[in-house]
Structure 1
């Protein structure tokens, strides 16, 4: 059993962790209906392992150097590398508003991502004051590290920057997903507050 298989099995058999990942962190191992026929641009297959409530999907790639990289494909047509393995992906998922951090990245500028992450962290706590406790609970159950947001941003940026050419997601119609970095530096309506 690979470490990815072990983690997924642990999530599936630990109801409280499964529920927290689904409800607070957008990682639902019961949502595997989106992206079943997706592949990488290289032709390598992808294994759907989870989805989110917005219709996106998380995938495991084929093993490389003892690890299985994780890519994400949104229902809006953006996709790319999230992390080099499921452990690192889950640390990003529980520790960072990572999708919005990519959306508000100024085209992939790590400094813009750091600023966005700071504002998104405030938003996250405003809407769920128990989020840090929930992240700690998931981390303890799955033997993950609680990593500072600034470090998670650097890891996310490094992974997403390596999307092309090896981790470009192709849908079942042969269309390539857009790169994961959005052009915005702050929300269009009202900015960061």
Structure 2
């Protein structure tokens, strides 16, 4: 089975959709400052966003590892257990950072804003999901999973600013 990262890299249309509206780019894997996990487990940046945020794999292994997102402002959250789950989030609710209540209604309102700029948003999403071989959960399910993963994460997933030993703030609260 080919890795999802390889599939993304080989398909410009998938990479393009993930870049916008997903704000996820494989070329942006370096974080803005030195960080480590409180647990001491391995931390591997593999993608980033346009605002200086980074997606990290946590621990050892492959694309099944937990995924931590850190923004450039000192906030972090565990956002998925494995790359397939992260990609489902980015495909179904690429506006997840703007969700405050994590409801499908809130997500639909944000989606309407995105559709004004990208009229074929859902057709592009469905094509990308097909290329990646991913089934797409509902907005409610993907947001509930994001909230559960982020708020259920233990302190071992706290991100630490290495030079000062300060813990990043949790982006998603209980």
TM-score, length-scaled by structure 1: 0.79
Q: How many residues align?
A: 170
How do 1:44-83 residues align onto structure 2 when only pairs under 5 Å count?
A: 44-63=41-60, 67-83=64-80
Match of 2:117 among 127, 148, 151: 127
1:100 and 2:98 are equivalent in the alignment: yes
* Distance (Å, rounded) in 2 between the aligned partners of 1:127 and 1:77: 30
* Distance (Å, rounded) in 2 between the aligned partners of 1:63 and 1:6: 16
* Distance (Å, rounded) in 2 between the aligned partners of 1:30 and 1:177: 23
Conservation of the 8 A alpha-carbon contact between 1:38 and 1:45: no
Unpaired runs of 5+ residues, structure 1, are 105-111, 184-193
* Distance (Å, rounded) in 1 between the aligned partners of 2:117 and 2:160: 34
TM-score, length-scaled by structure 2: 0.87
Greater strand fraction, Structure 1 or Structure 2: 2
C-alpha offsets along residues 130-156 of structure 1, whole Å, 9 cap, x if unaligned? 211121111111111122111111111
Conservation of the 8 A alpha-carbon contact between 1:35 and 1:171: no
State the 1:119 CA deviation: 2.2
1:181 aligned residue: 172
RMSD across aligned positions (CA): 2.2
* Distance (Å, rounded) in 2 between the aligned partners of 1:93 and 1:8: 14
Match of 1:25 among 5, 22, 27: 22
* Distance (Å, rounded) in 2 between the aligned partners of 1:182 and 1:76: 16
1:136 and 2:126 are equivalent in the alignment: yes
C-alpha offsets along residues 50-81 of structure 1, whole Å, 9 cap, x if unaligned? 000011000111148x9301110001211111
